[in-house]
Structure 1
Amino acid sequence: MKLKKDENAQSPLAAAWREIQPKLQRRARHLCKGDSHRADELLSDTALKVHLYLQHSASRVQNLAGFIFLVLNHAFLDATRRRGRENRVFDRDCDWDADHIIEYASGNATPEQQLDLKQQLDGMAQARAALNPQQQQLFTLKFEQDQSYPEIASALGINQALARKRVELLRKKLRNEMA
């Protein structure tokens, strides 16, 4: 391998990182409320984002140490928002081992449970029938075929952000129809 460099020479990012690493770790742990695993993940994400940014726009950064702290804060906000979105999508409090779910799955549901399930399914069918053709197509792509947002965007000829927004609006409409 011909990648031999002067071992004493280091990139400006590596030098700045080593210099402020203890302060970065304290800040990351503070942001993560003492969770060292999340703090380490946050630091990794920060290092990657700074590295990628510096590859393209290194000349724009005047104060590298300050920039690293700024990116740390932004990475924390990104992670917090992502967790918030995931918590809205995934019901982490749901007890998948609950008896009523097992009864539904096994077909041993009581008549009351069967009636409740039938009413919910009928309500969903009515809500779906009330959708316009574009919304029905979106419903099929997202909820029946379980396609990802890039696949939905490609199928509809739109960008991913618009696909996400349309699915969000579709969910709101379905909730309102079901209520």
Structure 2
Amino acid sequence: MKQAAVAIVLVAADDGSGETALFLTLRCAKMRSHAGQYALPGGRGDQGEDAVDTVIRECFEELALSLSADQLLGTLDIYATQSGYAVTPVVFATTNEPDLCLNPKEVDQVFRIKLSDLSGERSAQFFSQGENGRRLIRFSIFDHHIYAPTAAILYQFIEMTAGRYQRVDDLAAPDFARR
């Protein structure tokens, strides 16, 4: 499998609530793969990079967001995608207000999603699809659905913040979300 990593970057919510949020991007509509999909910042690892190095590089390339190893909180389980990637979610926290500059070749928009918006009524939804009955996951945000792998990674993170460990390797994306 090809190695990739995504960032869960914890920041202050931008609504004055004092809550913690994370960055979610809307990928550029002209990208070759996963165009126009919501995703965590990140991407494929370069030769010799570990997951932390990949996330630090990708966050800078996509958002001009400078992260450093001293902001690292840890990693979640590697998620194997249906398209052949082993994705390592890496969690960072920043107390500084980031000055973001989006790379228009990669990111159309960036959002701060409050952690509380990923629970309660907006918590993960599970269903099965197709003849094989694959277990799918999605979150509803902005009147859109976010599917695995992003949804699976967010679900594991939200469960961890609640003190529960939840494996997510059995959660799949619908076929249309793989493009």
Q: What is the TM-score of this pair, normalised by structure 1?
A: 0.19
Greater relative contact order structure (CA < 8 Å, 6+ sep): 2
